[in-house]
Structure formats: structure tokens, C-alpha cells
Structure 1
Amino acid sequence: MARYGAAIAALGAGALVLSGCSAPAAESGLDEGTSVTVAWNQAFFSANGNTSYGNATANNNINYLTQAGFWYYDNTPELQWDESFGTVELESEDPLTVKYTLADTAKWSDGEPVDAADLLLSWAALSKSLDTPDFDATAFTDQETGEFTDEFPTDVVYFDSGATPDSGLGLVHDTPEVSDDGKSVTMVYSQPYVDWQLALNGPLPAHIIAKHALGIEDGDEAKAAVIDAIENDDAEALAKLSADWNSGFNYTSMPEDEDRLVSSGPYLITDFAADEYITLKANEAYEGKFAPHIEEVTVRFIPDPLAAAQALANGEVDVIQPQATADLVEQLEDIEDITINTGVGGTYEHVDLQIDQSKNGTFADPLVREAFLKVVPRQEILDKLIAPITGDGAELRGSFNFVPGAEGYDESLETSGIADYAEVDVEGAKALLAEAGVTSPEVCLLYASNNPRRVNEFALIQASAAQAGFNVTDCGSEEWGGLLGTPGAYDASLFGWQSTSLGVSSVGPNYETGGINNMSFYSNPEVDALVQELNTSFDHDRQIEIQVELDKLLLDDAFGITIFQHPEVTAFSNTLSGVSSSPLAPTVFWNIWDWEVVEAE
């Protein structure tokens, strides 16, 4: 029989508060010969989750296992520190000065230490302080893949991190100071930053990037060249380094250059079959505190939730966390010797509109945007696709920034205008289109075509919008994640945002001009000013007020619309212990080092 558990999350705004219990830290060693297979709904495609192309949960799940860092969240969720990787020290509040020091146990799997060169390169990328001014990369993005084209200029410095000058490491304008022993960097902020603890985590290997970009084989020489290029603002070298940082770690099967697989985390990629699976083995060079029990982890890519459940029933996979559907829950109930945990996840469904750089130019006019939002059938989607899973507790999510029940959520509902979109308003949409002088506007909608729930959502949106005269066409793609934000590829998108941290600064990148998660080319100076204030305000009440104000501005501009909070279903074989899920990414992978193979009960 299946055993049921519950993962009930009480989510707050900004500083979220969730109830739960974390698994104990692993104390014993590796169990040689053990393996586990996890199913995930999207294939891995980039080992750099800090680019606009690679910033996806499917990538960051794997990167979490191969890239150690200063901090992580447990499943309560509470910020935790990994001092076996390094320490983060606040040296001064005025000016805000932060020192990062790497531990002797922080090492790459090829034997090189993680050191100041790696952190300095991360600063250059995540601050964009050394980028060529005013360069626009949109003309060099492939509309079919979302990657940069071969025509990308070779003489510009451009780190595709989406960093902005008023947030995170973008506020560290001066080149950080490197310690004499090469183990520390000290960063001085130009103004206060509320989430300074979260500004930097695990880096990419600078010596590998320098090897490919600058042709330097020796690790020490490669690191020295990176530091020299950054400290001397060497545009020629930085152009090459930034290009490799942007694209060198994108791959959809085993890369030809296996040094792209170099790991600082507890696992190392050893096999990768395109669109099928990726396999990792315990990293023998890893000396950190998260040494795993299980020797080999395989992640199989199974987009269909029912296929994932069948694979679990067949013993082909051991852990699944697919998109929840009513059919999935019913199927899981019939599987023997598994545990099922259900609850509310940290992901919310939404529709974003391409305000600029779209396929058909449909949503440049705010009247047309508002008209489309009026015919997104939010309640019908909830009733048909979510309520059968969650029952009477199903409710629409009415905020971009607050989870239902969080502090600030009710106030946002009262002031944002979301109530105007509770029901489909065909006549209101027609009136707005008439006012705009537009007939039969075309909307190419991007979504995951291999996700059954999204296919159903697309059909419901298409039928509803047609009543007002919109021609919603199918831009669904299995490669949807890499296409997000690609100029000219689509007009609107349907997907989910997964929360990755509790920091209030995580709000800004979605909406500020040029933010890494602002896929819509949206820009509003008032929003930018509020985001800047949010990033620097330590007043909790003001943080809530700002996010309420942002919700209203986003709806006033018809930026997009929220639909529902994702229900979450995790199921795993009773031959495993230690499995639990976090409401923040990387969800079920958060403590994989604690998992153990045991006898089924």
C-alpha cells in the first residue's frame, strides 16, 4: 500500500515562514554500489544557472549537486551555511563590506582549489561592472533555441547574468580586493543591500573558462590570467572570458570537453543521454560536509506525470515529483510500497505578456494587454485542473509577490485590482480592443508542449480568448525554457515561477528593467525605483508596503496575470530513507546527501 504523508507549508512574504522538519545530517560514509533514480519533467541543458538562458529549475537541480556554495536552504526553510566551503563575514555596515573566505576543503574534482579567481570571475559576471557599456545582445539571440548566435560580436565584454546596477553584486562597483593567499575576496558595496548574505554562492571554475577562452592549460596560470584580466580591465581577455562563461557550459548530452563537468560538489556528472537521462556519481575529490551515502544518482527526464508514476510502479525510478494532476494522485494510490507526500509547493502558475520584442507586436498596446488578461479563464483552469487535486481548498493566486495567506497578501488583493480579473469578461475585452482599434489580434503562446496540464491550460485560454476575437496560436515547445525571453519567438508565455530564496531582493529581477527574470522586456521607472528601495530597505513593514505597491503597478500596466499556486506531490519507494521536499528550489533534491537505500517496509 502507498503511505501518505503531508508537506504543509505556511508561506510568508519576503521573509517566508514555513513549518516542517529537516532531515538529520549525514554522518556515515558512502555505501558503495548503491544507486537511486529520480524522475524530473524537463531535461538539463546548462551547467550555468546564472545566465538568462540557463536560469531554470531543471538545470539548477543538477547544478546544486555539482556546485558547492557558501549557503543553502533546508526544508523548513531556513538559511544554512556550509563552512566546509567557506565563510561570509560582514566586516562593516558603513560602507557595507563583505569578506568571502574559501575553506581548504573547497576543491574542484580535477584537484584544483576553489579560490579567489573563481569568486572574482563570479563578481565580474554577477555585477556586469566590466561589461561594454550600452551593448544590446537581443539581436544575437537565436529565435529557435534561445542561445546566442555565431554572429555574436567577439570584441565586446558581456556577461549574460541579468545583473542590474542597483541590486546584488551590481552595487559592488569597485573591483574586489584579493587576499595575499588567494583564498579571500573582500567586496565593498556602494550602498546598503538588504540581502547581502545571498549575493554570492557557488562559482564556475575560472581555470576551465580561462583554458577554453584564453588557451591556458596550466591551472595556476589560468587563474592568474583571470585575476589579471579583471583587475586591469583587460577588455580583449574579458570579451573571451565572458563569451565562454555565457555559453561554454551549455550542453544537452555529454560534452566533448569533459573538463566542462568539473565539480566542486558532492556529485560529478558521468553520463548524459540527450532527452533521456543524466547520471552523477559521488565525487571522490569532494571533502565538504555533505558527502553522500548513495554512490550513483540518475535523473530521468519524464515530462508526462502519469508516465513518471508508471515508471515508479515498475521500479524504473525511485523518486518522482511531477506536475500534479488528479489522474496522477489516483494512479499513485494503487502503487505498492511507496510513500506519498502532498502539500503546497513554492511554484505559481502565471501568464506573462511580451511587451516588446514579441513575435507579432500584439502587446505593445496596454489596452490590448488588458483585454487579453480579461479573457484568461483563471477560475475555469482552477476548477478543472487544480480543484480535483486539492479539493475545496483550491483558490486563485492573486499576487505576483505574495503567497496566499502571507502577510501582505490580503492587502494586495484589496488594492491591486486583481478582483477585476476574477471572472472572464468577454464584453470588457471586446470594448478594449475596439478602443485600441484592433481586430483579431494574434497571440502566439509559448508553453511546455510535453506537459499535459499546460496543454490543457493552453486549450482553455485559446477557447476563452477566441470569444473576444483573439487568435491564440500554438507556440508550445519541448524546449520552452531556453526560449523564454528570446526576441521574436512568441507573444505570451505560460509557465511557473519556482521560489529559490526568502530574500526580498528576489522580487526585483522579475520586473525591473533588464532583470534576469524579466522575460517580457517590461520597463517602468516607478517599478525600478521601488525595486531599488526594496533592495536597500531593512524595515520589514516598508518591505511589505513596497511589494503591495508593485502588485498594483504590474496589474495597472497589464504586465501579466497569476493563476494558481502549484499543488505538490512527491512519491518515493520505501527502499529509500531521508527523502523530503523543500518549498524552495531545488525541492526534493535539497538533502540528497542524506538519502539512504534501506529495506522496504
Structure 2
Amino acid sequence: MKIKRIAVVASVVAVAALALSGCSVPKTSEVIKGTSISVAWNDPLQEYNTLSATGNSAANNNISYMANSPFNYYDDKNKLVKNTEFGTYTVEKKDPLTVKYTVKEGVKWSDGVQVGAADMMMTWAALTTHLNNVEAEYDADGNITNQAALDKGVFFNAGAVKGQGLDLVSKTPTISDNNRSVTIVYDKPFVDWELSFPIGVSAHGTVQLAYPDKKYSGDAANKAFIKAVQDKDYTFLSPVAKSWSNDYKFLDMPKEKQKLLSDGPYVVTDLKDQQFVTLTARKDYTWGPSPKYQKITVRVVGDPQAQITALQNGEVKIAEGQPTADLLTQIKGLSGVKYKAATESTYEHIDLQVTNGGVFDPKTYGGDAAKAQLVREAFLKTVPRQDIVDKLIKPLQPDAVLRASLQFVPGTPGYDAVKKEGAYAQYDKVDIEGAKADLAKAGVTSPKVRFLYGKTNTRRQQEFELVRQSAALAGITVIDGGSETWGADLSSKPNAYDAALFGWQATSLAVAQNQANYTPGGLNNYYGWSDKALTAIYDKLSTETDTAKQDDLLVQADKIIGQQAWSVPIFQFPGVTAWSDTVTNVKPAFLAPQYFWNFWEWAPSKAAAK
């Protein structure tokens, strides 16, 4: 699993530079009756609510993307496309920034309820701190310790942070156009406004789940929710927030239809834990590009070799993964199979835990932050980044190099500036003697580092072994913490690991998207990272419209993260998508959801009829 970031990820470009284009779509269904396609992904659906802190993963997003309609999406050229058949958004005022969102009349959830203001109000309620009146507290193992308080209070588990994103909308949004429009007013300019307001799970369905005994109709549930938000009725909102946070977590097909309501072209009709998800085309869908396949099944195939074997055997028609050199050679030799090998938006990195009582936490050394930082620096000096690139990546991509930034995509002006500054240059080459010196200065001998990574991923197994062998030369013992549930472990088991190896996958080109990674309380900050100067940089960045100043701020951010020895980048992913020639219009994209981005264009080819 690659963790995705919701409008808070890895690529950095000015929103003003994004190309917008209209979307011409058919008014009638183009679904071919009786057709189906099976495709492969490496992780299962674990949660349907992708806006929650726990639902934030690529595997969940792929399914949600096919089942739900957005106001906009990125194509394979990284252009932001407006889905005007679903709805529109317009800037009503620039000062203060005022944006009106309107869902088109006739756009309905799969139970027939009109999509509209209540659903957008739920997004605002969840992604701000303005309605939350209690926050979760955790023990060292990541377990919630104040559940009783959460049950009584309003707590949307969305990782909302004060002064970030939709939290800049402090006034309750206003409603118009027969409950199909919402107007939001930002307290101050927000550079990523165009990417900040997705529609998540249904408002009426969530209310129905929260109050099953009241037997609310869809319209009645929406009205009750809107009134509660406008009145700040915390008593009513408390169960709703709890339902939003918890009820969309399931591994097999749920009994309650509300848990899988769709406002897009497909609806989930079957689900088996660790096996597959099946989506079936809706008969009433007309507000976006029409899919061609009646059914799409996403099969869970964790091992890249197993994916290619399944493709070769005809069990799946599309496969995507992190290839080895041998696997790519195998793909090239397959008949009836097309493929595209290209750099992905995902990049590999290692993050260090600093608040879990472990080897990198100042508390372990009586609160001595300098000593803990020396130990972090010592470990990072042993990470064989160049060796990883040379042995595991260059056989697939001969021109592969070390990634030099955690903020910028390679090839951008900001990236070159970070590289020149050398934010992570001290870790470019393994420095065993330097690591030993740091440990000696800290007075720490034989430190042990619990290392979390995806256990079923061959390349990550190889990376772990290279790290383990190198660290041992400096007297550091790296303990194998490989896990099949590593993605969930990042946030739920912070006390179980000290270092984590995984990839960040970009879902957008938002300017301030890394804010959630490195600021206190951020959705993706699993480690307790906190630096006042860095937080101030991200706060300023979210309202900075000058692209040169944006780059300057992000260069400073990289320098601070490098100085803190919190994290280090390793390489940009070489990816490969392979597909059967019995399916047409597979066009892998740089940004997530990668090959799923144009699922509506997939269609049986002439070869399929043979």
C-alpha cells in the first residue's frame, strides 16, 4: 500500500499554473451489458470514508474514485479537469475569498437522494476544528484513552488542524439554490482553494447510521444535519461525528446500505476481505463520463510477481506495481500484453519516530533533545541511500538518482534550489565513522531501531536488509518490523516502531500539500514532529500567492527537516503498468489514482472478442 495524501501531498506547483478544461460527457449510458473486467491492486479496501484520518490510503481511494463523483480531477497530463456535469464552483469575491459550489440538479446518491448542501456541509464540519469540541488522546501504543469523552462530544477524526485548509473557513457556510449550493468564505486568502473542498460520504446516510431508531428519510436526515450545524447542536452532532469517523470501516460487505452509498458511476456490490471488491455500473448515472464495463472487480494481489502471473493467466487485465529488473524483463516477454514503464508521483523515504519513548525520542534521554538528535543523525548516516538506488532502482531506470527534496518533485526550480542547499547532503553517502562519532558524543552504545516496512513487498525487504547490514557496521541493531498491515500501523501502533520505510503518493498539485506531514496534529504526522519555525513557514505558505516566494518557503522547510533529522528521501518510484491487449484506453497517470484515473474509458478491444 502506498499512503496517499488528501490535497496534502508531494508535488509542488502553483495552482495558478494548472490548466483547466471543460469535460464533454454523454447524456446517456455507454455501459456494454454483460461486460466485466478484473484488475489488480496490492492492498484491500479497509475504509470507504477516504476523508478520515484512518481512511487515507491509495487502496481506499481507488474504490472511492470509481464510486463517487468529484468537482474536478487530474488527467494523465497533470491537468485539472472540471467535471461540470456534476457541479460547478465559482469565485464570488476575491477579498475575502468567497467560493460558491453548486451540485447539478438530478445528481443523486445511489438510494435516490439528491446530492447537495448537506453533503458539502458535512465535509466542512469534518475538515475544520470549528465544530469539534473534544480531541482524541492516545497512549504510547496509539490507543484512544478518552473514548468516553469522544462518545459524548463532537469529534470528526479527520486530522483537521487549526488555520489550515478548510479550517480557514470559520463562518458556517451559507446554503442556496434549493439546498444544492454552498458558499464558503475564507478568513484569509488560501492558495489551494480549488482542491480543498471534496464531497465525502453522504450526509443523510451518516445521520441514518448515527440514528437508526429515528428512521429518518434522506431529506429529513439532511435537514436535521444542516440545522444541527447551523445551531451548533453538539448533542445531535456527537453521534453523527462518531458515525462519520467509525462506521465506514469494514472489510467485508456491510449489511447497512448507507455505508456504500455512491454518487458516481459505480456502486460497490461485493466485497471480500483480502480478496476483491466488485463495483457495478449504476443505471441512473448521467452526470459525468459514462463507463463502458458493467462490472469492475479489483482483486487484491500483494506480490508484484503474482500480479504479472495473474495477468499472464488472464485472471486480471491490468496490473501495476513496483517492478524488479527480472519482473520487467518478464513483462517485456509476455505476448498479448502492453506496458508502460515511467516514473511515478510516489517517492521512497524513511521517517523517524520522535515521541514514542523509543531510541529517537528525547524522553528516552531525560528530555535531552540534542542527544536524541545525535542518535537520529547517526542512524541516517548509515542508511545506504545510494546503494539502494544503484542495486534496486538503476536496473529498472539507468538514469535514477537520489531524491534530494521532501517538498519538490525533481525537475522543478525549487527542487534544484534544495539540491544546491544540500538539505540532506550529509546523508548522501554512508558515513559509518561519522555515525560512530555521533553515538559516542551522545554517550549511547548499541542502540536498537525497530524498522517498519511492507512485509509482502520484495523491494522493501531488500531495502531493509541493506539498511540492516549498513547500520550494523556502526553498532546499530536494526530490528525487522516488517508488517502486512504497516499502513495502519503507522498511526495505530506508533510505539511499535522507530523508523518507517514507505512511499508518499501525490494525489494533487497543491502548493501547501506537505503541511499535513510536518506540522503538529497534521493528518500525516504520525511521529509527533514539531518545530515552531517550520509550522510558521507552512502557515505563511498557505496564503502566499507569489510562486517565487512559495519556492523560497519550501526550500527553508526542507532545510529545517534535514537539520532536525526527522526524515530523508531516497528515490522517485520507477513504476510499471501492464495490461492485456483485450482492453483499450489504459493510460497510466503520474498522479494518483494512476491507472484508475480514466476507468470510464476502459473498453473491451477487438482482441477480447477472439
TM-score over 0.5 for the alignment?
A: yes
Equivalent residues in 2 for 1:35-434 (5 A)?
Answer: 35-132=36-133, 135-139=135-139, 153-179=150-176, 181-215=178-212, 216-217=214-215, 218-357=217-356, 362=361, 365-391=372-398, 393-434=399-440
- How far is 1:284 from its partner? 2.1
Secondary structure of the residue aligned to 1:390 is coil
Secondary structure of the residue aligned to 1:456 is helix
- How far is 1:244 from its partner? 0.9
CA shift in 2, pair 1:275/1:373, >3 Å: same
Secondary structure of the residue aligned to 1:259 is helix
Q: Residue 501 in 1 paired to residue 508 in 2?
A: yes
- Structure 1: how far apart are the matches of 2:210 and 2:202? 12
- How far is 1:484 from its partner? 1.4
CA shift in 2, pair 1:12/1:206, >3 Å: closer
Secondary structure of the residue aligned to 1:336 is coil
Please name the residue that 1:470 is paired with: 476
- How far is 1:23 from its partner? 12
> 1:448–1:479: 8 Å Cα contact kept in structure 2?
yes
CA shift in 2, pair 1:150/1:276, >3 Å: farther
Task: Supply the AA of the counterpart residue of 2:415.
Answer: Y
- Structure 1: how far apart are the matches of 2:183 and 2:540? 24
Please name the residue that 2:4 is paired with: none
The one of 506, 509, 515 equivalent to 2:522 is 515
- Structure 1: how far apart are the matches of 2:43 and 2:139? 27
Q: CA-to-partner distance for each residue in 1:386-438, whole Å, 9 max, x for gaps? A: 111112x0111010011222212121012143221111111111111122221
Q: CA-to-partner distance for each residue in 1:482-523, whole Å, 9 max, x for gaps? A: 121233232111100001111102121111221111122101
- Structure 2: how far apart are the matches of 1:396 and 1:22? 38
- How far is 1:315 from its partner? 0.6
Please name the residue that 2:460 is paired with: 454
Task: Report the more deviating stretch, 472-481 or 283-292.
Answer: 283-292
Q: CA-to-partner distance for each residue in 1:436-486, whole Å, 9 max, x for gaps? A: 221222211111101111111111111111221222112211111112123
Please name the residue that 2:599 is paired with: 592
Please name the residue that 1:3 is paired with: none
- Structure 2: how far apart are the matches of 1:316 and 1:207? 38
Q: CA-to-partner distance for each residue in 1:235-289, whole Å, 9 max, x for gaps? A: 2222211111111111111113232111111111111111011111102232212
- Structure 1: how far apart are the matches of 2:580 and 2:434? 51
- How far is 1:156 from its partner? 2.1
Secondary structure of the residue aligned to 2:342 is strand
Task: Supply the AA of the counterpart residue of 2:50.
Answer: G
- How far is 1:89 from its partner? 1.2
Please name the residue that 2:5 is paired with: none
Task: Supply the AA of the counterpart residue of 1:523.
Answer: S
Tell me the TM-score normalised to structure 2 length. 0.92
> 2:51–2:200: 8 Å Cα contact kept in structure 1?
no
Percent of counterpart pairs with the same letter? 41
- Structure 2: how far apart are the matches of 1:459 and 1:540? 41
> 2:48–2:55: 8 Å Cα contact kept in structure 1?
yes
- Structure 2: how far apart are the matches of 1:360 and 1:381? 24
> 1:341–1:570: 8 Å Cα contact kept in structure 2?
yes
Equivalent residues in 2 for 1:559-578 (5 A)?
Answer: 559-578=566-585
- Structure 2: how far apart are the matches of 1:551 and 1:436? 25
Equivalent residues in 2 for 1:488-567 (5 A)?
Answer: 488-567=495-574
> 1:353–1:363: 8 Å Cα contact kept in structure 2?
no
- How far is 1:184 from its partner? 1.0
- How far is 1:213 from its partner? 1.1
> 1:167–1:505: 8 Å Cα contact kept in structure 2?
no
- How far is 1:140 from its partner? 9.8
- How far is 1:346 from its partner? 0.4
- Structure 2: how far apart are the matches of 1:149 and 1:268? 36
Q: Residue 485 in 1 paired to residue 486 in 2?
A: no
> 1:319–1:571: 8 Å Cα contact kept in structure 2?
yes
Aligned-pair Cα RMSD in Å: 2.3
Q: Which runs of 5+ in 2 are unaligned?
A: 1-9, 364-371
Task: Supply the AA of the counterpart residue of 1:390.
Answer: Q
Task: Supply the AA of the counterpart residue of 2:509.
Answer: L
Q: CA-to-partner distance for each residue in 1:529-585, whole Å, 9 max, x for gaps? A: 110111101101001111111110100011110000000101101111111011111
- Structure 1: how far apart are the matches of 2:88 and 2:482? 44
- How far is 1:136 from its partner? 3.5
- How far is 1:361 from its partner? 5.6
> 2:449–2:478: 8 Å Cα contact kept in structure 1?
yes
Please name the residue that 2:32 is paired with: 31
Q: CA-to-partner distance for each residue in 1:572-599, whole Å, 9 max, x for gaps? A: 0111111101111100000000111012
> 2:41–2:302: 8 Å Cα contact kept in structure 1?
yes
CA shift in 2, pair 1:451/1:18, >3 Å: farther
- How far is 1:148 from its partner? 9.5
- How far is 1:128 from its partner? 2.3
Task: Supply the AA of the counterpart residue of 2:102.
Answer: T
- Structure 2: how far apart are the matches of 1:389 and 1:149? 49
Secondary structure of the residue aligned to 1:484 is helix
- Structure 2: how far apart are the matches of 1:23 and 1:35? 25
Corresponding pairs, count: 585
> 2:393–2:400: 8 Å Cα contact kept in structure 1?
yes
Q: CA-to-partner distance for each residue in 1:125-169, whole Å, 9 max, x for gaps? A: 011211115x243249756xxx99976731121111112222210
> 1:140–1:149: 8 Å Cα contact kept in structure 2?
no
